[in-house]
Amino acid sequence: MAKLTLYHAAPSRSSITRWMLEEVGEPYDIHLLNLSKGDTHAPDYLAVNPMGKVPALKHGDAVITEAAAICAYLADEFPRAKLNVPIGTPRRGSRRALISWASSSPPPTWSSAPRCASA
């Protein structure tokens, strides 16, 4: 069993966190939720995320919610993936802006993703 578990529903903004997990390259499990069946409001899921929304990521004993927070967490937690820009580096702001944009924009706009300098 992987130490990372993504609580995911498709289509939803949790897809950005799944993408980030693929970029990180660490093994993870997916707990697929059905939004139309109300899975996010079931007691088992509310115990994970009391807000009743996806995504949520469990990493050991930690639970992280909100796509931008999960992406930032993964970039910090797994530096081998080189997805973060170190503190004090001028590009850090634009990288964080890209994470925020990607996690708050609906998937059809991904093709118009802004470009940022490589890390």
Edge-first strand listing for the sheet containing 62-65? 28-32, 4-8, 56-59, 62-65
Q: Is the pTM of this model over 0.85?
A: no
Residue 46 CA from chain centroid, whole number: 18
Q: List per-residue pLDDT tens for the chain, 119 residues long.
A: 579 999 999 888 888 899 999 999 999 999 999 999 999 999 999 999 999 999 999 999 999 999 999 999 999 999 999 888 888 888 888 877 877 777 776 554 444 555 555 54
**What is the dotted CATH code of the domain comprising 4-110?**
3.40.30.10
